[in-house]
Amino acid sequence: MTKPLLWGAVFCALLTSSTTYAQYATDALRYSESDQTGSARFQSLGGNHASLGGDPSSIHGNPAGLGFYTRSELTFSPGITPSNTKTSYLGDKNSANKGNLNIAQASLVIASQPGFQRKWKRSSLGISFSRQQSFRDHYTFSGPNDKSAFVDKVVEDANANKVSIQQLDADFEGNASNGGPMAYSLPAAYYQMYLISPSSEAGPPYNALDKNSVVDQFGTYTATGANTQWTIAYAGNYNDKLYIGANFGFSRIRYNYDRTFQDSYVNSPELIYTQQNEALTVTGNGVNFALGVIYKVNPVFQLGGVLTSPTFSSIKETFTQNVSAEFVDDRVTGPDGTLIQPPYLNLPIAPNDFVYSLRSPLKANFGATFFVQDRGFITGSVEYQDYSAMGVRTNYLSSSDNSAFKSNTKAELRDTFRSSYNFRLGGEFRANLFRARLGAAYIGDPYQNNDGIKRDKLLFSAGVGIRKDRFFADLSGTMSTFKSLYTPYVLNNPENYASVEVTHRPVNVVMTFGMNF
């Protein structure tokens, strides 16, 4: 079998797995979730964009807010995001810390001259770069397991698919001149390394090299990247009562992760450890647009809303895996039952490239702001997104496989996710040049079934700032807390495997420097 045909067959087989559809459903959520974005001022107010104006965050938030500008403005917002994670797995607990510097936002607003004799008083054009999501994460986990090891998943998959020895041999390239040694599937790699063995001439059922020893399991996960967006917005001010704006956003996704999972065998006669390494590299570009309005009911009360289209993204990913092992006394039991030197201690899996399109959910945001004379204000908003309406499709496969991928992933999205509401509340106190702010946000759980863990998020923020005639500076800090689950492998019997419960507590500190002209 030639390599292209072989890889095409393996890849199509993967696409028939419900686990694969679940993977792309999870990816769709990762690139579509709401986060707290914007300048330090708006982040310290809980991320409220709906009914406030006069801030660079309006460019990508509610573009109608640009209609409040009376002067042009240039801003720059650097940030630092230290993160803390705690994990619980098979009774063991671990913690990890990591941080990074980033650019939260940079913007330019150009305001027109006032039209005193017209109903349309002013208009403003805004251009901004903003960090919409951060994918940076890091955690470790460990725990003793007396019920299973990762090799059991490989055995179950090979037996379920009734993979023959002939197929396992075909799924392996040992010739260095052809790019080998390299496997085209996990069962092929485990078979070539003598980690699984057949029990019949045809092959199945397969058995693990060591299926009795207790293993100490250890894993790591490190992710980097962000979803950033360039946005162009324009807004007008009608009679200082009605503000209307629209924007176009051009997003860019960069996401990378490295994951390891190791089984260290306790008192095994054959194995010291086996380890799986995997890495994913994702790049993507997308477009979206939004239409927003803010209406000033009276000098102390105003309402606002913004409707943001789905982001239509084109995404390319490359997935790589590697299997390694160490044997007791550098020997392994061969096919004839004698101890031999293992032919391979390390085998890569052929890289998997895939290209697909993603449609995020439509987003609707409505809010209100109440002003307390010149002493400050209180603002709040409600945001709605239906994550079950996300869509994924591809033209990377044949016509029938493309259709199957689209329909099955769509079913997985509907079965896994639901509509979600996000609530935000914030307030600002003013005293001459000084500003003090507090905010909070609740991000709803998008999952239909929580698997015993709630994935909603709580965010608490605070900030201070100063305003002078030509210059302003703001500082904000946001602390959030939420949980997630990671399952290293899945077996037929749920009692034989476990999931890692991860508690995330990232902190986001942003400082905005601005100049009016």
CA distance 301 to 383: 20
Question: What pLDDT does 455 receive?
Answer: 86
**pLDDT one digit per residue (tens) for the chain, 517 residues:** 344 434 444 444 444 344 555 678 888 899 998 888 999 999 999 999 999 999 999 999 999 999 999 999 999 999 998 889 999 999 999 999 888 889 999 999 999 877 666 788 889 999 999 999 999 999 999 999 999 999 999 999 999 999 999 999 999 999 988 888 999 999 999 999 999 999 998 889 999 999 899 999 999 999 999 999 999 999 999 999 999 999 999 999 999 999 999 999 999 999 999 999 999 999 999 999 999 999 999 999 999 999 999 999 999 999 999 999 999 999 998 888 889 999 999 999 999 999 999 999 999 999 999 999 889 999 999 999 999 999 999 888 888 888 888 888 888 889 999 999 999 999 999 999 999 999 999 999 999 887 778 889 999 999 999 999 899 999 999 999 999 999 999 999 999 999 999 999 999 999 999 999 9
Q: Residue 265 forms beta bridges with which residues?
A: 215
Q: Which structure tokens are listed for 223?
A: 């992710």
Beta bridge partners of 223: 137, 257
Among residues 211, 220, 87, 83, the alpha carbon closest in space to that of 499 is found at: 87
* Apex 205 CA angle, 199 and 210, nearest 5: 70
Q: Residue 115: its pLDDT value, please?
A: 66
Whole-angstrom CA distances from 130 to 258, 277, 290 are: 26, 33, 15
**Residue-by-residue DSSP string for 3-63:** HHHHHHHHHHHHHTSHHHHHHHHHHHHHTT-----S-HHHHHTTS--SS--SSGGGGTS-G
Tell me what pLDDT residue 194 has. Answer: 95
If you classify domain 3-516 with CATH, what class do you get?
Answer: mainly beta
Taking the alpha carbons at both ends of the chain, their separation in whole angstroms is 68
The contacts of residue 116 (CB under 8 Å, 6+ apart) are none
The residue count for the chain: 517
- Give pLDDT, residue 34: 82
3-class SS of residue 114 = coil
Helix (H, G, I), strand (E, B) or coil at 360: coil
Report the pLDDT value the prediction gives residue 11, as an integer from 0 to 100: 45
SS (H, E, C) 268-305: CCCEEEEEEEEEEEEEEEEEEEEEEEEEEEECCEEEEE
Task: Give the separation between CA 514 and CA 74, rounded to whole angstroms.
Answer: 6
**∠418-23-314 over CA atoms, to 5°?**
90
pTM higher than 0.75: yes
Q: How far apart are CA 279 and CA 122, in angstroms?
A: 51
Residue 404 φ then ψ, to 5°: -65, -40
